[in-house]
Structure 1
Amino acid sequence: MLGIVGIIIIFVMVFGGFVAGGGNLTPVIEATPFEMIVIGGAAVGSFVLANDMGAIKHTVKDMGLVFKGVKWKPADYRDLLCLLFELIRLARQNPVAIEEHIEAPENSSIFGKYPKIMKDHAAVEMICDTMRSASMNYDDPHQVEEVLEKQLEANYHHAIHSSHAIQSVADAMPALGIVAAVLGVIKTMGSIDQPPEILGEMIGSALVGTFLGVFIAYGFVAPFATRIKSVVDEDAHFYKLIREVLVANLHNHATNICIEVGRQNTPHHIRPSFSELEEALKAVKSEAA
């Protein structure tokens, strides 16, 4: 919603201010389609040239993050802590019983309580792989933490690629606008024998290219890249919480302490309160009983 509001504000302030100052939008409107063929076409072409098909699909998909926002809401962090609580408690009470849940999470009654988390392959894989490794005595907290950190870095690097790719396009667009403007000047010089009013229109059309390159780059493309990075950074806390709880578990802290470590390491604006989480865990315990 905020993304749409931002776009409306940009258009109203830029073009509204131009018209209010006595500007005439007709030359801009008439020149825009042809200038956008040059600028937009070159931008898309350079983007395709710089990325493989997987990265292109990933970037196009991530454009929706500008409008959808973050994936993980505060309630999801509470659910994640409850899920980890159930798994850790079961693993300590009955190491054999936990195997069916971490080997086939899609059929797990525990994971099934949290469908949104279960649909996230990265989160489920991190939980199951780490707990499976612990059951095979790969349980050194420092080694596991290092492995999880590298996994988080790799996942983050993949997720943030869209932002970098779009930012590269934003950096190039002002220069592509100059290219369009230069082509317009070349066209104008080829018609130097025309009357001044015609030459003025042609020069104005050429300058629209420079305007569009800068306007689109800094008004839309760069903010899109920034917003995508912001969303990726925000959602990364969800996976860091998994790391904190599972590493605390390997330190053999009490189950409640492991969960509290994860809660306290979650940023305040998405962190469930102690009382809220306590109520949720009580519900989990009563359901299990």
Structure 2
Amino acid sequence: MIVIIGFIVVLGSIYTGLSIGGGNVLVLWHISEFITVLGICLGVMIIASPLSVLKAIMVKVLQAFRGGPVPKRAFDDIMKMLYQFFMLARKDGLLALEEHLANPEESSICSKYPSFYKNPRAVQFLFDNLRPIVDGRIKPEQVQGMVHAEIETIREEQKKPVHILQMVGDSFPGIGICAAVLGIILTMGSVAEGAETVGHKVAAALTGTFLGVLGAYGFINPLTTLIETNNETELRYYRLIGNGLVGFANGLAPLMSVEMARRALLSSERPEADDLEVRLKEMMSAR
């Protein structure tokens, strides 16, 4: 929603500025320039991106409009869920986790936290790293390296859509100039038609330059920055899970394992340690 508000502010500023200056926003409406600029940008993106990256770009843009890949409650939910898993393992042994790992959709613990089980990547990340611990196929000191390697893979995957969008944003002004040059070429063929016709065509050509600069600095570059911020938030979510698993694998008490997980968050996202402890204990006592 906040992205839409920002776009409205940008467009509203253009409309207001034109109106104050005595102009009409319709002077910017030259469909040929829009098709040229947007079409070239789309083509550049297709040329530069494998199909998997194009899909990732669409996902990242949609997530930006929806408020980000990690809902506000997701950090709290995952800490509660990890605590329940760790307490279950401490009380009944590691094998008690197997039924939850085998069928996460039917897990009595996972089903309480839709922010987790509706995120396939998060489910895969947690269970792929928890399963070797439960099966005893990995030493406790090796867990951190395994988790770190997967987080680095996620980081690399996140970089690709951002890189392509940055490239498109940087190309937008140049593409606008290309559209303007095409407009001037058309104008040169209409010199004999009089000053009014030439003026109209020159205005249309200059609109291409305007669209290129506006597209870059008013829309694409800010959106790319937001996606980068969302990516960092998503990485902290996975670091939270990873820190909790590392603490659990190394024999820390469930509460301390969750405390390790909590340290992955920014101060604006992180609940107070005492408050979190109280809520976790109340949750378990209410069961």
Do they superpose with TM above 0.5? Answer: yes
Q: Name 1:69's counterpart in structure 2.
A: 67
Q: Name 1:213's counterpart in structure 2.
A: 212
User: Which amino acid is the alignment partner of residue 18 of structure 1?
Assistant: L
Q: CA deviation at 1:242?
A: 0.5
Matches within 5 A, 1:130-279: 130-279=129-278
Q: Name 1:14's counterpart in structure 2.
A: 14
Contact 1:72 1:235 in 2 (8 A): yes
Q: Structure 2 unaligned runs (5+)?
A: none
Question: 1:3 and 2:32 equivalent?
Answer: no
From the superposition, tell whether residues 178 and 246 of structure 1 become closer, same or farther in structure 2 (CA, over 3 Å).
Answer: same
Contact 1:55 1:162 in 2 (8 A): yes
Q: CA deviation at 1:102?
A: 1.9
Q: CA deviation at 1:26?
A: 4.2
Contact 1:27 1:201 in 2 (8 A): no
User: Which amino acid is the alignment partner of residue 21 of structure 1?
Assistant: G
Q: CA deviation at 1:12?
A: 1.9
TM-score, with normalisation over the residues of structure 2? 0.91
User: Over residues 216-238 of structure 1, what are the superposed CA-to-partner deviations in whole Å (9 max), with x where a residue is unaligned?
Assistant: 12111221221122112112211
Cα distance in 2 for residues equivalent to 1:143 and 1:99:
21
User: Which amino acid is the alignment partner of residue 202 of structure 1?
Assistant: K
User: Which amino acid is the alignment partner of residue 45 of structure 2?
Assistant: F
Q: Structure 1 unaligned runs (5+)?
A: none
User: Between Structure 1 and Structure 2, how many residues are aligned?
Assistant: 286
Q: CA deviation at 1:113?
A: 2.0
Contact 1:139 1:250 in 2 (8 A): no
Contact 1:47 1:169 in 2 (8 A): yes
> What secondary structure, in the 3-state scheme, does the structure 2 residue paired with 1:267 have?
coil
Cα distance in 1 for residues equivalent to 2:219 and 2:65:
13
From the superposition, tell whether residues 24 and 136 of structure 1 become closer, same or farther in structure 2 (CA, over 3 Å).
Answer: closer
Name the stretch that deviates more: 279-288 or 210-219: 279-288
Cα distance in 2 for residues equivalent to 1:51 and 1:40:
16
RMSD in angstroms over aligned alpha carbons? 2.1
Identity of paired residues, percent? 32
Name the stretch that deviates more: 75-84 or 57-66: 57-66
Q: CA deviation at 1:141?
A: 4.2
Contact 2:104 2:110 in 1 (8 A): yes
Cα distance in 2 for residues equivalent to 1:231 and 1:191:
49
Q: Name 2:107's counterpart in structure 1.
A: 108
Cα distance in 1 for residues equivalent to 2:36 and 2:65:
27
Cα distance in 1 for residues equivalent to 2:68 and 2:152:
19
Question: 1:87 and 2:85 equivalent?
Answer: yes
User: Which amino acid is the alignment partner of residue 75 of structure 2?
Assistant: Y
Q: Name 1:27's counterpart in structure 2.
A: 27
Q: CA deviation at 1:81?
A: 1.2
> What secondary structure, in the 3-state scheme, does the structure 2 residue paired with 1:96 have?
helix
TM-score, with normalisation over the residues of structure 1? 0.90
Contact 1:74 1:271 in 2 (8 A): no
Q: Name 1:55's counterpart in structure 2.
A: 53
Q: Name 1:97's counterpart in structure 2.
A: 96
Cα distance in 2 for residues equivalent to 1:135 and 1:89:
14
Q: Which protein, 1 or 2, shows the higher relative CO under an 8 Å CA cutoff with sep ≥ 6?
A: 1
User: Over residues 191-247 of structure 1, what are the superposed CA-to-partner deviations in whole Å (9 max), with x where a residue is unaligned?
Assistant: 233323322222222111111111112111221221122112112211110111111
> What secondary structure, in the 3-state scheme, does the structure 2 residue paired with 1:98 have?
helix
> What secondary structure, in the 3-state scheme, does the structure 2 residue paired with 1:268 have?
coil
Name the stretch that deviates more: 169-178 or 141-150: 141-150
Name the stretch that deviates more: 170-179 or 107-116: 107-116
